[in-house]
Amino acid sequence: MEPVQNILKGTVQELTTSIHKYMPAVAYREFCFWGLAPENPAHLKWLQVMGIAQTVQLTYKLFEALVTPEEYERLSSYSATMNVYLTFEVVSDNLAIGLANQRPTDKTFAARLKGRASIEEALTALRPVMDEIDGFEQSLNAGVHRDIANLFLRQQPGLSLDELARNIWPSLILNGEAAAGVAQAVADHRAGALVRQGLAARYDAVNKLLDDGCMTLPERVQVGADAILVVPTLAYYASVFADKVRPLENFTCVLESGLLNEALYDAAVLVRLLNDLGTQLLMNSTDSRAEVLRSLRADGKGGESFYDLLRNAPEQYRRWLTRIRKDLTHGEFNISVYSLNYSTNAEMIDAFKDQLDYLSRFYMQTRAQLIARLHDMRSKLGDPTISALLERFVAFHEKLYSNNYEEAEGEYAV
């Protein structure tokens, strides 16, 4: 079996087990079982819109040619545990689409990581609110979700589309339990605390982004880096590799010196910026960005708002602005346009240019800093694998976010 198919098979098996174990017996649970079944005609499309296909590709790219077949066998169950969490974290992330003030679950996830109540107990009181949300609409591709659901409903005449769309509550229960499962899987590892702290920091940071409207741009980059899952994901794989796959004696020194933590944070900053701005804006020259902005200035004379100018950018620049267009279209947080509240489009474009130039310089400086730290880590560990994991993780997102977000090659779940 090809490596990607092997990873996919393990992830599907673990997803099936987790849904059986944690998801309440609602209509959406049966829909998930159907989606996971290879014989269903929409199986591959369902894997794509759930983010599973891209997550599996990421897992493969991280370890391709770095581990032996025997080492991969030791790694496989751990990777499936992480992939289940990342799959349902996409569902959790979708709550940020137009519902910035309705993310009450973050604190309960952090509490669950600390071993307090079960996530189902914590979320039961919130179920009436969640059941009012159309979970298919609350995604980047509502139409495709509904099309797949209608295929399922042809085989389940007793169910309705409305029942399937009330999927936020059961999905968040599984999401929270999967997060706790990730922390538990490495609880006795040398970097186990780093994984757990990174998971909890993700939810704390989301609360800060929603509640604090007065952060400076550098502060929002810092908090935004905590709000994505780079640190706990990479700490998890580094932990598994160094303790269970290919034990590395000097891993303790890298942990205690803070070198791993610093490199993880650099990677998180880079992926945060890639997620918000895209590869083209960050890695091309100042002159190239200025050309894009000149096109906006030329178009900004017809009464459109600045945000509409970005959303409706000329075709040749849509790929450059794809991440910003995605977030503006779907009402999501984006570092690059936050706090732009000037009175005219010309002022907005000037301020936007200043922020882009700053963030691009910061990206390239952080990238160079990460490369230096990874070189140091290779030397200290006497093994290149963990450094390669971090480098590959960033490279995967540089490639992913260089594409239009409407395409499968440019987003996890479309």
* Domain residue ranges in the chain: 1-185, 214-414
pLDDT in tens, 200-226: 999 888 888 777 767 888 999 999 999
**Whether the predicted pLDDT of 115 surpasses 70:** no
**Whether the predicted pLDDT of 182 surpasses 90:** yes
**Whether the predicted pLDDT of 28 surpasses 90:** yes
The per-residue pLDDT for 321 is: 94
Nearest Cα to Cα of residue 219 among 330, 322, 338: 338
The per-residue pLDDT for 248 is: 97
pLDDT in tens, 128-160: 989 999 999 988 889 999 999 999 999 998 899
**Whether the predicted pLDDT of 1 surpasses 70:** no
**Whether the predicted pLDDT of 317 surpasses 70:** yes
**Whether the predicted pLDDT of 114 surpasses 70:** no
Reported as a pLDDT band with limits 50, 70 and 90, residue 2 is confident
The per-residue pLDDT for 235 is: 98
The per-residue pLDDT for 303 is: 67
The per-residue pLDDT for 104 is: 38
The per-residue pLDDT for 117 is: 54
**Whether the predicted pLDDT of 111 surpasses 80:** no
Q: What is the chain's mean pLDDT, rounded?
A: 89
**Whether the predicted pLDDT of 36 surpasses 80:** yes
The per-residue pLDDT for 239 is: 97
The per-residue pLDDT for 98 is: 53
pLDDT in tens, 236-249: 999 999 999 999 99
Reported as a pLDDT band with limits 50, 70 and 90, residue 96 is low
Structure tokens at 151: 């295929």
Report the range of poorest mean pLDDT among 79-93, 107-121, 213-227, 287-301.
Answer: 107-121
The per-residue pLDDT for 97 is: 64
Ramachandran angles phi, psi of 335, nearest 5°: -60, -40
Backbone dihedral region of 98: left (phi > 0), alpha (psi from -120 to 50 degrees) or beta? Answer: left
The per-residue pLDDT for 101 is: 34
Q: What is the rounded average pLDDT of the residues 116-126?
A: 76
Reported as a pLDDT band with limits 50, 70 and 90, residue 92 is confident
The per-residue pLDDT for 308 is: 87
The per-residue pLDDT for 322 is: 95
pLDDT in tens, 344-364: 788 888 899 999 999 999 999
**Whether the predicted pLDDT of 377 surpasses 90:** yes
**Whether the predicted pLDDT of 69 surpasses 80:** yes
**Whether the predicted pLDDT of 94 surpasses 60:** yes
